[in-house]
A and B are shown apart, each in its own frame.
Chain A
């Protein structure tokens, strides 16, 4: 069953008439993960924001996006807000600006839980500690007392991912969630996403790193300059891409790890 279906999604700048995203069509089945890859500026985040009605009014969205029996593009802000809090969670790339700078992390997270999950503040606090522990944050109590500017980007990113996971939405849209993280944290966060996948969460995972997408996604959508270049099963796109651009992305990613792979293999060969 398809959870989200998008047909001919286009975004244009209503002032200049410039097309930002052109005729994007895709669908996500329940319990699967859709990966969206492309270089920066290809319109990946823009299309996700358009689905959730988060774009500024100067950008015009056309097309049809169905979530269950709701038509998202034409839906009222009120409906969209409900969907955003209960059904679809968005994890943003820029964790620094995603939190309120004027209240502590603890206050914000607890408030979100009380608002959306009907917890008492005591329960919410317990859940918050649990979530932070799960995200490998060393000193959760200190983090809860800190303001966003006192934490590193990676730390904030993990708080946000933990928060989204604890809200138990139907879909999580993760927009470059691992980009600012170092490789150990990246691996931890990915493992957490993988676990969510196994528990049956539906995911849309946006990244410019094909390695990460390959690790998680069932289907892949390759984007460039606002257009869909290739859309298909992940295994096929990564091993045998149809389009030269997809091949270029795969090749550049391969050449990045080539030397490392060779050194490791060489080491393995000599130690045997």
Chain B
């Protein structure tokens, strides 16, 4: 479905004059594929280029070299012709939702903007159904984002992301800023939604336990390079020192 072929990306170096041509390489020769219905986990420490990669896939930025294609088409063309079929949930829920919108307006916006024109009542019913799906009460509809807790707001973001029934969703550290109990709940929700709606996920995170309980395949990203690809079932057999280090950093809890 999604194919990323030898992608490079670099940004101008910090603390240099604006005319300087010094560049810092963020992503180096990234290639991977994601099959339909698969859930791919991308793991790496902060600064390893995870978010940059997600921004490239969402076509918010262009790679310096390399190709990103979706079902054989370049990503920008695919996004234009398949509106509403790819969506994203970001880490920072407070800044990714319009503070002036009520929860209803936030969730309804992508539905209203989609190709199909719906009646007002239909949209309202759809919003209600979506909130039900993410286990939020309909009492929240008229509230504003600041009146919700972090876990609730992140669920609103998820409801908004699945509003147009996308086939592919990117989760960029979507659980990292939540409480452990909220993380567990959201994780169960994502598993369930995946089954119900047959979506493919790209799940970006920095901690292994969450990623292993959701994904089938794992990519380890370190300093802009993919150092190891492995199936989750075989995670205990990782080879590279970086992946081993990550594995060892998990706090046991039993």
Number of residues from A at the complex interface, CB < 8 A: 45
CB-CB under 8 A from A215, the residues of chain B are 251
What is the CA–CA distance of A252 and B151 in the complex, to the nearest angstrom? 14
Q: Mark B163-198, 1 if CB is under 8 A from A, else 0.
A: 000000000000011011111110100000000000
Determine whether the beta carbon of B206 is less than 8 Å from that of A183.
Answer: yes
Determine whether the beta carbon of B236 is less than 8 Å from that of A187.
Answer: no
Chain A CB within 8 A of B235 CB: yes
Q: A152-B46, A252-B184 are in contact. Are A264 and B251 (CB under 8 A)?
A: no
Q: In the complex, what's the smallest C-beta–C-beta distance from A67 to chain B, in angstroms?
A: 30
What is the CA–CA distance of A181 and B176 in the complex, to the nearest angstrom? 9
Q: A182-B206, A211-B253, A257-B253 are in contact. Are A263 and B233 (CB under 8 A)?
A: yes
Q: In the complex, what's the smallest C-beta–C-beta distance from A5 to chain B, in angstroms?
A: 29
What is the CA–CA distance of A41 and B14 in the complex, to the nearest angstrom? 37
CB-CB under 8 A from B207, the residues of chain A are 182-183
The listed residue (A180, A249, A257) touching B209 by CB distance below 8 A is A257
Determine whether the beta carbon of B15 is less than 8 Å from that of A146.
Answer: yes
Closest chain B residue to A147, Cβ basis: B15
Kindly count the residue-residue contacts between A and B in the assembled complex, taking CB atoms under 8 Å apart.
113
CB-CB under 8 A from B120, the residues of chain A are none
Chain B CB within 8 A of A60 CB: no
What is the CA–CA distance of A40 and B153 in the complex, to the nearest angstrom? 13
CB-CB under 8 A from A257, the residues of chain B are 209, 250, 252-254
Chain A CB within 8 A of B246 CB: yes
Q: Mark B112-150, 1 if CB is under 8 A from A, else 0.
A: 000000000000000000000000000000000000011
Chain B CB within 8 A of A258 CB: yes
User: Is chain B's interface secondary structure helix, strand, loop, or mixed overall?
Assistant: helix
Determine whether the beta carbon of A256 is less than 8 Å from that of B249.
Answer: no
CB-CB under 8 A from B69, the residues of chain A are none
Which A residues fall within an 8 A CB radius of B? 39-41, 142, 145-146, 150, 152-154, 179-187, 190, 208-212, 214-215, 248-249, 252-261, 263-264, 266-268, 271
Please report which residues of chain B, range 206-254, place their CB below 8 angstroms from some CB of chain A when the two chains form the complex.
Answer: 206-210, 212-213, 232-237, 245-254
Determine whether the beta carbon of B212 is less than 8 Å from that of A252.
Answer: no
Closest chain B residue to A42, Cβ basis: B179
Determine whether the beta carbon of A260 is less than 8 Å from that of B213.
Answer: yes
Q: A187-B251, A208-B180, A249-B181 are in contact. Are A259 and B209 (CB under 8 A)?
A: yes
Q: In the complex, what's the smallest C-beta–C-beta distance from B139 to chain A, in angstroms?
A: 18
Determine whether the beta carbon of A183 is less than 8 Å from that of B208.
Answer: yes
CB-CB under 8 A from B15, the residues of chain A are 142, 145-146, 150
Chain A CB within 8 A of B71 CB: no
Which B residues fall within an 8 A CB radius of A? 14-15, 44-47, 149-151, 176-177, 179-185, 187, 206-210, 212-213, 232-237, 245-254
CB-CB under 8 A from A145, the residues of chain B are 15
CB-CB under 8 A from B233, the residues of chain A are 263
CB-CB under 8 A from B248, the residues of chain A are 187
Q: In the complex, what's the smallest C-beta–C-beta distance from B236 to chain A, in angstroms?
A: 2
Determine whether the beta carbon of A184 is less than 8 Å from that of B45.
Answer: yes
What is the CA–CA distance of A153 and B254 in the complex, to the nearest angstrom? 30
What is the CA–CA distance of A191 and B43 in the complex, to the nearest angstrom? 22
Q: A264-B236, A268-B236 are in contact. Are A209 and B180 (CB under 8 A)?
A: yes
Closest chain A residue to B213, Cβ basis: A259
CB-CB under 8 A from B232, the residues of chain A are 263
The listed residue (A249, A254, A267) touching B237 by CB distance below 8 A is A267
**B179, B232, B250: residue with the most chain A Cβ atoms closer than 10 Å:** B179
What is the CA–CA distance of A181 and B251 in the complex, to the nearest angstrom? 14
CB-CB under 8 A from B183, the residues of chain A are 256
What is the CA–CA distance of A254 and B150 in the complex, to the nearest angstrom? 21
Q: In the complex, what's the smallest C-beta–C-beta distance from B108 to chain A, in angstroms?
A: 27
CB-CB under 8 A from B187, the residues of chain A are 256
30 contacts between A and B (CB under 8 A): A39-B182, A40-B149, A40-B151, A142-B15, A152-B46, A153-B46, A154-B46, A182-B207, A183-B207, A183-B250, A185-B45, A185-B46, A208-B179, A208-B180, A208-B181, A214-B253, A252-B184, A252-B185, A253-B180, A254-B253, A256-B180, A256-B210, A257-B209, A259-B213, A260-B208, A260-B213, A260-B235, A263-B232, A264-B235, A267-B234
